[in-house]
Amino acid sequence: MELAPIIGTLALGVIAMVLAIYFFVATARGGRRTQAIFFLMLGVVLLVVAAGLGWQRFNPNNAQALVATPRGPVQVRVVTALPVEPWVREAAKRFNASNPTQDGQPVEIQVVAMDGLTALGKFDRDDYGTLVSGTREGLTAGELERLATTFPTVWIPDSRYLVELANASYKERLGRDVFLTDGEYRARPIAISLFVWGIYQSRADVLAQKYGEITWQTVHDAAIAKSGWPELGGDAKWGFFKLVVPNPRRNVGGLAAMIAAAGEYYDRVNISTEDVTNPEFQQWLKELMGALTDVSGASAYTAEDFALFGYSAGDGGQLLESDLLNSMEGIRTRWSDPLVIRYPKYVTWFDFPYTIWVGPETTAAEKNAALQFQQFLLTADIQRLAVQGGLRPVNSEVSITAGDTLFTQWQSQGVEAIVPRTTRMNSPSRDVLLALLRWFDLNVGN
């Protein structure tokens, strides 16, 4: 703030005080005429002082007012997993349009799409630059600006276990939690989507006739059929069975699929490092994953590839329910062979936890503005918007079968509003994830 206008105003006040004292003394010695002159001069001085204050307050060219105006807007940067990014982005657009404020300042939600594994890697490498000292004191203006414009306020990963892995790494490095599991800023799910089997109707009919239920073992046996589909009872023109699983280096869904396969193989929900490094399991998994199509060229959007490239992308696989639901119509219109959806015995799912960074890298205003957006995402109207995108709501007031939703539209193809199987796979440890990724790189990814 400039000092010149303030000094000038103070100087006028001092002059007014001196004149008042002078004329008070003069009045005590003089008569009515002296009193009239005194009050006239005092009025003139007060008018000058008031004019100076008014000019400083209302002059449009004076950017430095006596009272500092708040900086704005409060920017809330939300790093968002790919399956929920379209929904979160649309919600942010609506939220911003409502002109929200925090501590008298406007709030702006910024959405950054990023796969959960990619984001976890950035956190592990500390790419965003945490404050090792644990305080903002002593930072330069440039360092504060970097925090204000680049550091994530919120992370919405695919699954809660990614949050736990990131927080464990930071706690070891910084000696403090950055993501909480309880309290006001705790991680809270904002939507749910399950991993399900999506298989072309023609192929599913053949597999069901030969094996009955579609399971990982069914897919494994189909994958190792030496003469391909004819051995399974299918059309020779189909060639060999082709499995669709996301590339685990580009989409965390690939890891979820392998964890689900391990759960079925061992017939339990908890998988250890010893389990995934068991040579017998690795041989079984290698046979299974040997049916994958072009892994190196696969994108992070496997369900979209499924819809765009049809049978060349694969015959079926385990993918995220919301991704499949959004691709069902495109698959039917392009390939005239609709997908059927089947629910596995061991269910893995994503709960997309809304996770607020609680360290000093984000301000109190940013954290509280993030809470505002979290509550907005959990409102019934915005949860219904999530259902329109094939996601299952966490707000109990919202039904996935109310109206014409993707869940009702594709009910004839096996979509279930209430999944009868509730055997949920436990969250894997960091060591299990790293072991699976290493195995994939050595055996499949090359």
Predicted confidence pLDDT, tens digits, the chain (446 residues): 444 444 444 455 555 555 555 555 555 555 555 555 555 555 555 555 455 555 445 454 544 333 334 456 899 999 999 999 999 999 999 999 999 999 999 999 999 999 898 999 999 999 999 998 888 888 888 888 888 888 999 999 999 989 999 999 999 999 999 999 889 999 999 999 999 999 999 999 999 999 998 999 999 999 999 999 999 999 999 999 998 888 888 788 888 889 999 999 999 999 999 999 999 999 999 999 888 875 544 455 577 777 777 788 889 888 899 999 998 988 888 887 888 999 998 888 899 999 999 999 999 999 999 999 999 999 999 999 999 999 999 999 999 999 999 999 999 999 999 887 668 888 888 899 989 999 998 888 66
| CA angle, residues 331, 305, 238, in degrees to nearest 5 | 70
Structure tokens at 189: 């799910």
Q: What CATH number does the domain containing 257 carry?
A: 3.40.190.10
Establish if 394 belongs to a structural domain: no
Residues 201 and 174 in one domain: no
Q: First and final CA of the chain: distance in angstroms?
A: 61
Structure tokens at 223: 């994958």
Residues 155 and 179 in one domain: yes
Distance CA 302, CA 401 (A): 26
Establish if 383 belongs to a structural domain: no
Distance CA 97, CA 207 (A): 50
Residues 14 and 32 in one domain: yes
Residues 200 and 322 in one domain: yes
- Residue 116 has phi, psi (to 5 degrees) of -60, -40
Residue 315 per-residue DSSP state: S
Residue 176 per-residue DSSP state: S
Domain limits for position 135 = 74-192+352-378
Establish if 256 belongs to a structural domain: yes
- Residue 381 has phi, psi (to 5 degrees) of -65, -45
Residues 278 and 427 in one domain: yes
Q: How many residues does the chain have?
A: 446
Residues 277 and 364 in one domain: no
When divided into structural domains, the chain yields a total of: 3
Residues 290 and 435 in one domain: yes
Residues 15 and 159 in one domain: no
Distance CA 385, CA 164 (A): 28
Nearest residue to 245 (alpha-carbon basis) of 283, 285, 207: 285
Residues 146 and 217 in one domain: no
Distance CA 235, CA 55 (A): 87
Distance CA 392, CA 192 (A): 5
Structure tokens at 72: 């704005």
